[in-house]
Amino acid sequence: MKRKTISGQLVNASPKQKQLISLSQFIIEEQLKIPYASGEFSALLNHLVYAAKIVGREVRKAGLLDGILGSTEDTNVQGETQMKLDQYADNAFNNSLKICGHLCVLASEEHEEVIQIPEGYAIGKYTMAIDPLDGSSNIDTNVSIGTIFSIHQRLDPGSKAPGEHKDLLQKGSKQICAGYIIYGSSTMLVLTTGKGVTGFTLDPSLGEFLLSHPSMKTPEKGDIYSANEGNAGYWSPEVQNYISHIKSIEGGKKPKTGRYIGSLVADVHRNLLKGGIFLYPNDTKSSKYPNGKLRLLYEAAPMALIAEQAGGMAVTVKGERVLDLQPTELHERTTLIIGSKNEVEEFLKFIPKK
Ligand code: P6P
């Protein structure tokens, strides 16, 4: 029986042959391949997964729970209204991660300042930057939302002192792990440790993430483009010209298909599987998002590592590689053009060379 892989390759397989590998088994096997792996990293991932299962459970039944939908009276560091599920997810991830003993410091979209490891708990050699629930404005409408995470090794791995900003403010190219959980028609965890991209789907009956998308590769080109065209009037002429180009039917050209959910995890995940390009440019004619909306540390950089590891690309509207950007602030924003290699390269043709 011939079956297709994500990248469209035909492989011999039959349902009986597909061995169900759990994320825990995968992490252990991956760890065995890394001679210096101490098991700390594997334990850290298991704490992340534990919190993801808790959040996924609440997201799945949010409509049935009193007091979990809707917004709070609070706003987060971004000045955005905090949804109740935002706060729930933030608590779930932070409470599990800050006491796991493998982190020296945490950064969360929901907290202005870094989150230190509580007194009495071991300080580890990794840092985590996380967007606990991205796309939360979609929660009440049952649209897919997600969690995005980025893991670095601290600058001095031997130190047992509390972590600092500098341990978090590292280039995306230095991430040792990055990924996302998408709470969609199923709950999937997609991650990379720098050796390709792997997807796991939660089997609710087992409470386990099972390997479902080994070696994920994004198609080199794709017909989908994702952008909030309501902002088009604010974009630079170059970006506007690119968007006009991909929508043009001149000379019988086939326009691209517009697909925009407004949830970064959902838009990037769909384009990762089907091919295409996602754009969040900056506003050049308003003060709303002069540097772009998406946050570098816990949105753009982890997604950029996933994209590159899957054979795609991730750049800014100036054509800079996102993974080469040097962060200077925890919540700094960036523009993001991410997706299939050929599509991002096509975009770059519209950007003036320095
Ligand atoms: P807009 C969600 O708030 C988010 O941070 C990303 O998940 C998403 O891609 C983007 O903002 C959507 O922004 O301005 O199009 O609503």
Backbone angles phi, psi at 288, to 5 degrees: -65, -60
**In angstroms, how far is CA 122 from the centroid of its own chain?**
27
Which residue in the block uniquely carries the two structure tokens 């011939």? Answer: 2
On whether 50 is known to bind a ligand per the annotation, the reply is no
256: three-class secondary structure by DSSP: coil
| pLDDT band, residue 286 (cuts 50/70/90) | confident
Q: 224-348 has which fold?
A: D-Maltodextrin-Binding Protein; domain 2 (3.40.190)
Whole-number Å distance, alpha carbon 295 to ligand 1 midpoint, is 10
**CA dist., res. 96 & res. 351, Å (int):** 43
Whole-number Å distance, alpha carbon 320 to ligand 1 midpoint, is 21
Please tell me the predicted confidence (pLDDT) of residue 58.
84
**CA dist., res. 113 & res. 157, Å (int):** 22
Structure tokens at 91: 């608590």
**CA dist., res. 287 & res. 301, Å (int):** 23
CA proximity to 69, closest of 78, 80, 82, 56: 82
Residue 333 in this model has a pLDDT that exceeds 60: yes
Average pLDDT over all residues of the chain: 89
On whether 164 is known to bind a ligand per the annotation, the reply is no
| pLDDT band, residue 100 (cuts 50/70/90) | very high
* Residues within a 6 A CB radius of ligand 1: 134-135, 137, 228, 262-264, 267, 293
Residue 11 in this model has a pLDDT that exceeds 70: no
Q: Say what the pTM is.
A: 0.90
Please tell me the predicted confidence (pLDDT) of residue 298.
98
On whether 109 is known to bind a ligand per the annotation, the reply is yes
**199-258: pLDDT as tens digits:** 999 998 988 999 999 999 999 999 999 999 999 999 999 999 999 999 999 888 899 999
Domain locations in the chain as residue ranges: 23-213, 224-348
Please tell me the predicted confidence (pLDDT) of residue 7.
55
Atom of ligand 1 nearest to the CA of 228: 15
Among 109, 141, 263, residue to substitute to test ligand 1 (most atoms within 8 Å of Cβ): 263
Please tell me the predicted confidence (pLDDT) of residue 285.
87
Residue bearing the CA closest to ligand 1, atom 2 = 135
Residue bearing the CA closest to ligand 1, atom 12 = 262
CATH of domain 23-213: 3.30.540.10
Whole-number Å distance, alpha carbon 135 to ligand 1 midpoint, is 6
**CA dist., res. 148 & res. 128, Å (int):** 10
247: number of Cβ within 10 Å: 13
On whether 183 is known to bind a ligand per the annotation, the reply is no
Same topology between domain 23-213 and domain 224-348: no
